[in-house]
Amino acid sequence: MKTWLKIVAVVLLVYVHTAGLLMDVPRLNILNETVRALYFHVPMWFSMVLLYMMSVYYAIRYLRNPLTDFDTYSVTYAHVGTAFGVLGMITGMLWANYTWGSPWHGDPKQNGAAIALLVYLAYFVLRGSLENEEQRARLGAVYNIFAFAAMIPLIFIIPRLTSSMHPGSGGNPGFNAYDLDSRMRLVFYPAVIAWFLIGLWIVNIRVRIKKMEEKSIQ
Amino acid sequence: MNRIIVQLLKKEFILELRRKSVIAGLGLYLFSLIFICYLTFNLKQNSISPATWSALFWLTILFSVVNSVAKSFIGEKKGVFIYLYTIASPQQIILSKILYNTLLCWLISLTGYLLFSIFIFNPVQDQLTFFMVLLLVSIGFSTSLSLISGIAAKANNSNVLMAVLSFPVVISILLMAVRATKNALDGLELSSSSDELLNLVAINCISGALGYILFPYIWRS
């Protein structure tokens, strides 16, 4: 990973945290100051989906051309994506505690996200229970693609079919409301970029550690 | 190509009829599950709400279907795999398995429905919608579970793995099914649940296509 990308990520994150906490936000009913969760909670999900996409990309590449490197990348992207998903869950629960009154509210979006995380945990269980390395990589790649396809309806389609209390659906203020306020976009989009870059950076470091471990074993 | 699929399907049926104990075991499993529901809820006529009925129904169907589809690859002898490998392409094998499992799932869900109406009660008001849901869910279960059974068969503790791998994947199918079932229970018209049915069709197409594309990679080892 290029050094300037790392610098950009750190600078953007510093900017996001200061501007996200200090800048003016629009006053919306119920949400009030918690609207700032947009800067910290939503980028987690964006980066998670992007990282999972990268994981699927490498899974497909592995199936087309079975090199161990592709598998290492695929599983590391899935690891880091899951970490981001857990963070998104925690930040969402924090926000829900203040806005909805309890951390777990049984909202369709919350449930869908939880199931999506379960799918990826199942992927790690599958990898753990296969001993042959080549087989582990191949079956893991197959399940990875399958899991991603199963995740799409859970996160993007089913919550939109039902009424949900989550901002952005069921007539609650959400993205459409922010359309009026482009100042929030000035913080939100850099936050997404910064967190995704941080994710890439972590993946990069983890892959390097794994490769060194493999070398030291040999 | 079609002839081989028909041959494979025929082989499945002949094998299934030859090992009657397996199919009898599945029937007994279904019956015991429903009987347990009946006894534990201490059901008299109409003493549970339709929502509870649909939850119980789909749980029962889910468990029996997972158990029956799991055995499509788990527990097969190694020699059978090698023999199949030599006579048919992986696409033909997965298609025949999916077709066979669809029929099996549909049979199980119809039997389950019959037993539920005998032992518990039958709150379904719109039969047509309900039968369509049953058929679509059977296709969905068999397309997704056949592939997962193939994956789980390669691992050591395959039965546990089958459950772990399959439940998250079939949840989206089940959610749609429960929603459409609710409409059928309330006696709403077919048009009111067309969204859910179309979604089920879409999910079936996705998982079927994925099974068709991905199965050769599992099969190769």
Residues in chain B within 8 Å Cβ distance of A158: 172, 175-176
Inter-chain CB proximity B218 and A138 less than 8 Å: yes
- Does the structure show a pLDDT above 60 at B145? yes
pLDDT (tens digit per residue) in B93-135: 889 889 999 999 999 999 999 998 888 878 888 888 888 899 9
Q: Does B59 touch chain A (CB under 8 A)?
A: no
- B interface test, pick of A146, A155, A160, A164 with most B CB neighbours within 10 Å: A146
CATH class label, A3-217: mainly alpha
- The predicted model gives B84-89 an average pLDDT of 82
Q: How far is B44 from chain A (nearest CA, A)?
A: 31
Whether the CA torsion A37, A38, A43, A44 is positive or negative: it is positive
- A interface test, pick of B147, B160, B165 with most A CB neighbours within 10 Å: B165
Q: How far is A201 from chain B (nearest CA, A)?
A: 30
pLDDT (tens digit per residue) in A146-192: 888 888 877 777 777 766 677 765 555 555 555 556 777 788 888 99
Taking only residues 1 to 30 of chain A, the set having a beta carbon closer than 8 angstroms to any beta carbon of chain B reads: none
Helix A182-217 / helix A42-64 crossing angle, nearest 10 deg: 40
Q: Which pLDDT value is given to residue B1?
A: 67
What percent of chain A is modeled with pLDDT above 70?
A: 89
Contact between B146 and B97 under an 8 Å Cβ cutoff? The reply is: yes
Distance CA A173, CA B203 (A): 30
- The predicted model gives A122-131 an average pLDDT of 89
Q: Does B210 touch chain A (CB under 8 A)?
A: yes
Contact between B61 and B108 under an 8 Å Cβ cutoff? The reply is: yes
Q: Which pLDDT value is given to residue A176?
A: 55
- Domain of residue B163: give its range: 2-219
Phi, psi of B60 (to 5 degrees): -60, -50
Distance CA A127, CA A138 (A): 10
Q: How many domains does chain B have?
A: 1
Residue B130: is it exposed, middle or buried by C-beta count within 10 angstroms (0-12/13-18/19+)? Answer: buried
